[in-house]
Amino acid sequence: MKEKEGSLGLFQQFKFVRVLHHDTRAKSLYLLGTIQSQDAIAIIEKTAFNVQDDLLMNNLVASSIEDIRMLDKNDVYHWYMAVMKEDLEKLPGAKVSLIWPATQTHIDKYGKQRHRMITETPEMYRSVLAPYIETMKGDRIQWVYNILSHKVEADRIVYENTDPVNGFILLPNLKWDRTTMDALYLIAIVHRRDVASIRDLSKKHIPWLKSVQREIVQAVTTTYPLTETQLRIYVHYLPSYYHFHIHVTNVEHDAGDSTGIGKAIMLTDVISRLEEMSDEHSGFAKSTLSFFLGENSELWKNGYSKIYKD
């Protein structure tokens, strides 16, 4: 293996410890290891095919498959194993993400674990989640502030409304290869810092949420060859970090659990539900909300499991 730029040596130093999770459907491998005696997580994920490349499609066999061997045949069915043609520039075979130094929270996040469905009342939110969210602010989301202040990833910004209250930055999710339109995945991170999750949203936020949704649709449909009905715009509850952000994917993209109930809520549903609420001061702080939680998470182990006595 060769690496072409400085600081790449980091990945070369990765010492394998154990498999955290192997997603055989998504062809993704989550590995725990160490680099310089500190925990590191390496995520290796095979890339999706590049179906935008007409040349590739028209010369499929010659241009994308390096070598092929028949395994078996039965009636009209024929099976082969193949070696793909890969190219660091145009046809990389895998994306690799490295998290180093990794905290126990990172390790818990990627480690395979069983799940629980929590039905969180306002009281449960106040006693368990709200105090936890306080510990997840500040340094834990410094990387978000780095993006918002253009310290990092500024060249990747797709659209920005710089207003400190109503504005947001729209940029590609690092999970997206930025080419495969069917897998389009963007994140809108709001500039305001007073909304940690949908629990902080109330009826007064409706005009703001609607304008953000409108601007996202406008920006995405003018930047990419997609229409409004081809976009899935949603938020997470629980989110993985507590600074309000919105996910935007192509409806065709299968983002797995990330778009499942108990994790995702359509932004239009967030808005409609707020609109339906009775008095002017009501909001999600008073709602009962359902979500999944991994059994290894602190929130389950030291929080909700005690309430459920489970």
Decide if residue 5 touches a second copy (CB under 8 A): yes
Nearest partner of 112 among 32, 11, 15, judged by Cα: 32
For 197, other C-beta atoms within 10 Å of its C-beta total 22
Task: Considering the complex, state which of residue 131 and residue 260 has its C-beta at the smaller distance from a second copy.
Answer: 260
Decide if residue 206 touches a second copy (CB under 8 A): no
The answer to whether residues 248 and 165 touch, using CB atoms and an 8 Å cutoff, is no
d(CA 62, CA 128): 58
Please report how the helices 206-223 and 267-276 are oriented relative to each other, as an axis angle in degrees rounded to 10: 160
Nearest partner of 140 among 114, 170, 104, judged by Cα: 104
**Is-catalytic flag, 22?**
no
Decide if residue 280 touches a second copy (CB under 8 A): no
Decide if residue 278 touches a second copy (CB under 8 A): yes
Task: Considering the complex, state which of residue 163 and residue 266 has its C-beta at the smaller distance from a second copy.
Answer: 266
Decide if residue 165 touches a second copy (CB under 8 A): no
Nearest partner of 187 among 202, 169, 203, judged by Cα: 169
The answer to whether residues 109 and 276 touch, using CB atoms and an 8 Å cutoff, is no
Q: How far is the CB of 289 from a second copy (least distance, A)?
A: 7
Contact residue for a second copy among 32, 37, 44, 105 (CB under 8 A) = 44
Task: Considering the complex, state which of residue 68 and residue 157 has its C-beta at the smaller distance from a second copy.
Answer: 68
Decide if residue 285 touches a second copy (CB under 8 A): no
Q: How far is the CB of 92 from a second copy (least distance, A)?
A: 4
CB-count exposure of residue 233 (10 Å: 0-12, 13-18, 19+): buried
Q: How far is the CB of 302 from a second copy (least distance, A)?
A: 15
Decide if residue 107 touches a second copy (CB under 8 A): no
Q: In the numeric block, which tokens belong to residue 53? A: 């490349």
Phi, psi (deg, nearest 5) at residue 89: -80, -55
Select the span of 17-25, 126-134, 186-194, 238-246 touching a second copy (CB under 8 A): 17-25
Task: Considering the complex, state which of residue 97 and residue 163 has its C-beta at the smaller distance from a second copy.
Answer: 97
Q: Is the dihedral of CA 5, 140, 191, 290 positive or negative?
A: positive
DSSP state, residue 5: S
Q: How many residues bind a second copy (CB under 8 A)?
A: 126
Per-residue binding letters, 248-267, with a second copy (x by CB under 8 A): ---xxxxxx--xxxx-xxx-
Strand partners, 173: none
d(CA 241, CA 296): 17
Select the span of 6-14, 129-137, 157-165, 194-202 touching a second copy (CB under 8 A): 6-14
Residues 118-147 that bind a second copy (CB under 8 A): 118-119, 142-143, 146-147
188 conformational bin, left if phi > 0, alpha if psi -120 to 50, beta if neither: beta
Per-residue binding letters, 58-97, with a second copy (x by CB under 8 A): x-xxx-xxxxxxx-xxxxxxxxxxxxx-xxx---xxxxxx
Catalytic residue among 205, 236, 243, 245: 245
Nearest partner of 205 among 218, 215, 195, 214, judged by Cα: 195
Q: How far is the CB of 186 from a second copy (least distance, A)?
A: 15
Select the span of 161-169, 177-185, 191-199, 238-246 touching a second copy (CB under 8 A): 177-185
Residues 211-250 that bind a second copy (CB under 8 A): 227-232, 234
Q: Which residues form the catalytic set?
A: 245
